[in-house]
Amino acid sequence: MDDATAQFVAWVRGAAPYIHAFRGRTFVVGFGGEVAAGKRAQSLAYDCNLLAALGIRLVLVHGARPQIDAELARRGLEPRFHHGLRVTDADALECVKSAMAVTRFEVEALLSQGLPNTPMAGSYIRVTGGNFITARPVGVVDGVDYQYTGAVRKIIAEEINADLDQQNVVLITPLGVSPAGEIFNLAMEEVAEAVAVALKAEKLIYLCDAPGLLGEDGQLVESVTADEAQGKLETGEGLTEDLHLFLPCAIRAVKKGVARCHLIDHDLDGGLLLEFFTHAGVGTVVSRDPLFRLREATVEDVAALVALISPMEADGTLVRRGRELLEQEIERFTVVEHDGVLVGCAALYPFSEDNAAELACLAVTPEYRRAGLGDQLLKRIERRARVQRLERLFVLTTRTAHWFRERGFSEIGPEALPRQKRELYNFQRRSKVFVKPL
C-alpha cells in the first residue's frame, strides 16, 4: 500500500466516529449572498450533498446582501444601513424580494445537480422551503425607522422538522411574514440563529470572511466558550465585518441550547468536511462549556481506547494491552474527550502496601499533543492517587523521559519499584523508571 492510499484509508477510518455521531443530527448552515454567487458555491453544494447523504438533517439559510445592493444600483437607488442593519423602505423591499428570489433559485439549482463524473452523480436532493418564519418590524431605533426591516417573531419548528423527517434539505430565505400579511426583510445570521435554537440543532455553522476568531498572535483560536467569545466581541480586536455580525448570534445560540456554533472560512474549499470529519478541524468552535472534558472511563469506552492506544503499542511507546485486559481494568482509566470523541487516556494502578501508584498508558492523539491534555491527565491521576492517600507516583517509559523530568519526576532504578511491580519488570524492554512524591 503506497503512502497516499494509506493516508486515504486512515482518513476514512478517522472520520468514521464523526459519521456515526452526526447521523440523524440537525445542522443549520448560514451563508451570505457572496457565498451563493462566489467561486466556492459549487463546492459548497457538493459538500452539502455529502452531509445529507451521510444522514445529517440539513437546514441551509442563505443571504443576498450583495445581490440586493446590485438590484438597488440597477434601479438607481442607494442602500441605507444603520448599525449594520439595512433600512428597507418600500422601494428597497421590491429589490430585496427580487434578489432573494433569484438567489434562492440559484442555490436550489446548485443543490439539484446530478451530472456524471461529479460528486453529486446519481444523487437527488429534495430541497424544500415554506412560510416557516413569522416576523415583526424592527420599528424605530435611534430615531431611524427601519420600515420593512424585520426581526424573527417565531419559527414554525414542527413544520421544518416534518420536512427533515422526510429526508429533505430545507432551504430558508430570510424573509418573514407578519400575521397581517406584511413582508419583512430579515438578517440571515439572525434567522439562522433562531432556526437553530428552535430546532435544538446539534450545530449552527456560519461561513464567514475569516478563518475564525484569531488570537493576539494572529493564530486561529480553535475553540472558545460563549463567555470568552463575549469578551472578544466587547474588545472588537481582530473581528471582521462578518464576525461582528455572526459572533453575537453564535453566543446567543449556544447559551440557548445549541450544542456548538462553528465559524468557518467561506473561501476554504471543503471547509465543512474538514471541520466535522477531522480531529483538528479548521475553524473556531463556540460552545457553552469547554470542549475538552475529563472523566472516568466506562466499559463503553473500550473500543475507542483500543483505537487510541494501538498505534503507540505498535511503535513500542506503550506496553501492549489486549481488549479483555482493558475491559477488566477499565475502572483504572481516566479519559479526555474533545467534542464527544475520545482523544486521550491515562491509568492509575495503586500499590497500597508500598503507598505508591503507577501512572500507566498515558496517551494523547497526535493532533492534540500541543493542547496540554497530557498535563491535565497527569493532574487528574495525581489527584486520584492523593484521594487514596498514596505518597508517590511512578512511571515506566521508553520514549518520553524528558516530558516526565520537566514535570517533577526523578529517575530511579528498577530495584526501587514496589515489590509486585519489580517482579514484573521487563529487562528486555529496559524502560526507565521515574518517581514523583505526592
pLDDT band for position 320 (50/70/90)?
confident
- What single-letter DSSP state applies at residue 220? B
Q: How confident is the model at residue 378 (pLDDT cuts 50, 70, 90)?
A: very high
Cβ atoms of residues 172 and 133 within 8 Å: yes
- Write the secondary structure of 409-432 as one string of H (helix), E (strand) and C (coil): CEEECHHHCCHHHHHCCCCCCCCE
The neighbour count for residue 348, using CB atoms within 10 Å, is: 22
Q: What is the pLDDT of residues 257-291, one digit of tens each?
A: 998 999 999 999 999 999 998 877 889 999 887 77
d(CA 367, CA 353): 39
Question: Residue 164 in 3-state DSSP?
Answer: helix
- Provide mean pLDDT across the span 31-56: 92
Percent with pLDDT over 90 in the chain: 61
User: 70-101, pLDDT tens digit by residue?
Assistant: 999 999 999 999 988 999 999 999 999 999 99
* Helix%, strand%, coil% for the chain, nearest 5: 40, 25, 35
H/E stretch holding 130: none
Q: What is the pLDDT of residues 53-62, one digit of tens each?
A: 999 999 999 9
If you average pLDDT over residues 16-34, what whole number do you get?
A: 92
pLDDT band at 322 (very low <50, low <70, confident <90, very high): confident
Across 130-139, 160-169, 429-438, least confident range: 429-438
Contact 232, 226 (CB under 8 A): no
The answer, yes or no, to whether residue 389 has pLDDT greater than 70, is yes
Q: Which CATH class is domain 1-289?
A: alpha beta
Conformation bin of residue 46: beta by default, left when phi > 0, alpha when psi is -120 to 50: alpha
Minimum mean pLDDT range among 141-150, 194-203, 395-404: 395-404
pLDDT for res 334: 93
- pTM, two decimals, is 0.75
Domain with CATH 3.40.1160.10 in the chain: 1-289
Q: Are 261 and 252 in contact (CB under 8 A)?
A: no
Confidence of residue 20 (pLDDT cuts 50, 70, 90): confident
Please write the tens of the pLDDT for every residue from 302-312.
999 998 888 88
Considering the domain 291-435 in this protein, what is its CATH number? 3.40.630.30
Q: 95 near 77, Cβ under 8 Å?
A: yes
Residues of the chain with CATH 3.40.630.30: 291-435
Structure-block grid coordinates of residue 315: 511503535
Q: Write the single-letter amino acid at 6.
A: A
What is the rounded CA–CA span in Å between residue 361 and residue 354?
21
Average pLDDT over residues 366-390: 87
Confidence band for 391, pLDDT divided at 50, 70 and 90:
very high
Q: Are β-strands 183-185 and 169-172 bridged in parallel, bridged antiparallel, or unpaired?
A: unpaired
How many other CB atoms sit within 10 Å of the CB of residue 273? 16
Confidence band (pLDDT; 50, 70, 90) for 153? very high
Q: Pull the grid cell for residue 97.
A: 424580494
- Cα 374 from chain centroid (whole Å): 22
pLDDT of 120 higher than 70: no
- Give alpha helix (H) positions in 23-57: 33-36, 41-53
Q: List the single range of 20-29, 119-128, 234-243 with lowest mean pLDDT.
A: 119-128
Beta pairing class for 203-208 and 26-31: parallel
> Does residue 385 have a pLDDT over 80?
yes
Q: 291 vs 29, which has greater pLDDT?
A: 29
Tell me the pLDDT tens digit for each residue of 344-373: 999 999 998 889 999 999 999 887 877 788
**Has residue 118 got a pLDDT over 80?**
no
pLDDT for 428 beyond 90 = no
Q: Give yes or no for a contact between 86 and 68, defined as CB atoms under 8 angstroms apart.
A: yes
State the pLDDT at residue 194.
97
* Mean pLDDT of all residues belonging to the chain: 90
Q: How many residues does the chain have?
A: 438
